[in-house]
Amino acid sequence: MARVLKDGGAWQLAKGLLLAFGSTAAALGMPLAFASVVTALLDPVRCATRLGRGVAVVGVLYIIEPALTYMYVAHMTRISEKFTTRLRVDTFKSILTRDMGFFDAQQVAQVTAPVTADIAAVRSAVQTNLQKDRGVRALLESVLGLVLLTIMQPQLAWIFGVVIPVVALSLAEARKSLLAVAGTEAASLAKEAGVAAEVVRNVREVRSFGTENRELARFERETVATTQAARALGTAAAKLEACNRAAIYMTILSVVWWGGKLVDKGKMPAALLVSFIGYCFSLNFAIQGVNYSLADAKKAWGALLRVFRIIPPEQFRGRVVFSKVSFHYPTRTDAPVLKGVDLELPAGKVTALVGASGAGKSTIAALLSRFYVPIAGTIKIDGIDMRDIDRTWLVQQVALVGQNPALFSGTIASNIAYGAVPRGGSARALQGGDVPLNGATMEEVIAAAKQANAHDFIMQFPQGYDTPVGEGGAQLSGGQRQRVAIARAILKDARILVLDEATSALDAQSEALVQEALERLMQGRTVLVIAHRLSTVVSADKICVIGSGMVLEEGSHKELVMRGGAYTELMKTQVKSYSVMES
């Protein structure tokens, strides 16, 4: 929807709705205008004056309604074409940026389907529902028509309140059976086409073995099945049309019967009864149109979901939800690590995981980082299953800072720049050297280092940012390595941040510097903190206690302490451990 509302799209949609409202109002005014004509015909004294006025009103409505309908359809067609064109381009662009594994795992038709068939289905549904008796117009006509009838004559409007739900349900059931038969016919046609294509493709073998008659018989069997399915489809379509007509006739009969009584008792003008009969036709067609539109919308939504699985979301908030997630490592299938974990990481908030070693905290972080996929359950980010999101895009949205960050042989600058998202083209070298910056500028590297409290210690080295870190970062202290890793995460600018025991192995001075840098990094991001020391997570928005592969309890520090459960037991255990160490 965000793609439609961009670039003034919200105003354009509002304009379309206003046009739909205007054309619907004009259409609903026609039966009333005809009522004035009938009233004139029934009044011989003032017939000439009233008839001319009534016909003039009808004539004006006959001009206004098609004019507004034309403007509505033309306007909404422009919007839909702009939307589907942008959707095709965005989808194809996303396909071009996929890694090769995506293409290796799928057939060509599966790759191109979102660009061709799925978007074509969306386009067809939109265009079909721009017709007068479909989509928004049909919905407006149904709702406004019922409101108008209730205001005009409540004693007669109840008929529509009783009949319309019955009609709607009947049409829905008839259409459901029609769609089922249509699916069978489509499958039969596909099978028939498949047989024909297979025979033509292998025509040399058919000729060489002399099996033309056998293949002809096989094709004829498929055509018989297709014919039977087509006949069933025709029968179902006839039933649907019969239901439509029966609904209209039943409504008219009810209105004439009850309305006639009201006219006979002088409680309702005869002309108003005529207008009610007119509304019977328009409302029934409108309700039928709404029914068709709902079916079209369902198919179009399915196609859109397949397209949006290709295109990364534009407005990424970072809300993460684990639902019934279970997992075991590939080498230890008999040892489940997670057992039906339900966990939510609110967007822009800090969620901390605490618990004993081996409880499953780091496994949750590994799943969120897409190192593994769950064996059961789902992990959704902003409502989309992680498995349906482009992996290349997803890994750019998650940054991990662990207890022992990995550094590569090279310079400090190249290790910081490792977090940069490549902007295309070859990586540039630093100051003419042979160490690539992965598309980042030197200014960006320095800015990230300053935010990570790393710039000062870097500039103390004779070579500054060109200082080699050694194998695995051996030339740097633990606190320095950690701050380089934080600078790397800052440069990545990911929306989701995973901190796995990020300060547990540092001395007090280094921890203070690293903690200050982490607090800058955490601002405005969805953060998952894994900590052994409870003192580091008391300020988290939410704390989850993990035990035996499950979430035992969750809440703020204050809430969990008051609850006196697993979190309190962890606190007591840690206090005892510290007391033993001090003694």
pLDDT digits (tens, 9 = 90+) for 166-202: 766 776 677 677 667 766 776 777 788 878 888 888 8
Is the pTM above the cut of 0.85? no
Q: What are the φ and ψ backbone dihedral angles of 467, each rounded to 5 degrees?
A: -70, 125
Based on the number of CB atoms within 10 Å of its own CB, is 505 exposed (0-12), middle (13-18) or buried (19 or more)? middle
Of 313, 317, 243, 312, residue with least CA distance to 284: 243
- Lookup: tokens for 287: 């309700």
Question: How sure is the predictor about 305, in pLDDT bands with cuts at 50, 70 and 90?
Answer: low
- DSSP E strands in 355-488: the ranges are 376-381, 384-385, 398-401
3-state SS assignment for residue 499 = strand
- Is the pLDDT reported for residue 425 higher than 60? no
How much is the average pLDDT of 412-418? 87
Q: pLDDT of 220-265, one tens digit each?
A: 988 888 888 888 878 877 777 777 777 777 777 887 888 888 888 8
For 69, other C-beta atoms within 10 Å of its C-beta total: 21
Q: Which helix (H) or strand (E) covers residue 549, if one does?
A: none
Cα separation, 131 vs 292, whole angstroms: 12
- For residue 168, the model assigns a pLDDT of 67
Question: How sure is the predictor about 577, in pLDDT bands with cuts at 50, 70 and 90?
Answer: low
- For residue 114, the model assigns a pLDDT of 62
Of 37, 92, 27, 11, residue with least CA distance to 61: 27
- For residue 430, the model assigns a pLDDT of 43
Residue pair 371/329 in contact by the 8 Å Cβ criterion: no
- Is the pLDDT reported for residue 3 higher than 60? no
Residue pair 401/500 in contact by the 8 Å Cβ criterion: yes
Q: pLDDT of 321-331, one tens digit each?
A: 999 999 988 88
What single-letter DSSP state applies at residue 290? H
Question: Is the pLDDT higher at 172 or at 32?
Answer: 32
Question: How sure is the predictor about 510, in pLDDT bands with cuts at 50, 70 and 90?
Answer: low
What single-letter DSSP state applies at residue 269? -
Q: For strands 542-547 and 550-555, give the pairing.
A: antiparallel
Q: pLDDT of 451-478, one tens digit each?
A: 888 888 889 988 888 888 887 788 888 7
- Lookup: tokens for 20: 């739909």
What's the one-letter identity of residue 442?
A: M
Mean per-residue pLDDT over the chain, rounded: 77
Question: How sure is the predictor about 117, in pLDDT bands with cuts at 50, 70 and 90?
Answer: low
Q: pLDDT of 256-304, one tens digit each?
A: 888 888 888 888 787 777 777 777 777 777 777 776 676 667 667 766 7
What secondary structure does DSSP assign to 100-165, as a single string?
Answer: HHHHHTS-HHHHHTIIIIIHHHHHHHHHHTTSTTSHHHHHHHHHHHHHHHHHH-HHHHHHHHHHHH
Helices 478-492 & 442-451 angle (0-180, nearest 10): 120
Q: pLDDT of 121-144, one tens digit each?
A: 777 777 666 665 677 777 888 788
Cα separation, 344 vs 346, whole angstroms: 6
For 583, other C-beta atoms within 10 Å of its C-beta total: 5
- Is the pLDDT reported for residue 68 higher than 60? yes
Q: What are the φ and ψ backbone dihedral angles of 6, each rounded to 5 degrees?
A: -70, 160
- For residue 438, the model assigns a pLDDT of 58
How much is the average pLDDT of 419-428? 51
How much is the average pLDDT of 533-550? 83
Residue pair 240/178 in contact by the 8 Å Cβ criterion: yes
CA Rg, the chain, in Å? 35
Instruction: List Cα–Cα distances, 207 to 193, 214, 337, in angstroms.
Output: 20, 11, 60
- For residue 9, the model assigns a pLDDT of 61
At which residue do the structure tokens 């294509």 appear? 197
Of 393, 413, 513, residue with least CA distance to 453: 513
- Is the pLDDT reported for residue 427 higher than 60? no
What is the separation of C-alpha 160 from the centre of its chain, rounded to a whole number of angstroms?
A: 36
- Is the pLDDT reported for residue 423 higher than 50? no
Cα separation, 494 vs 96, whole angstroms: 22
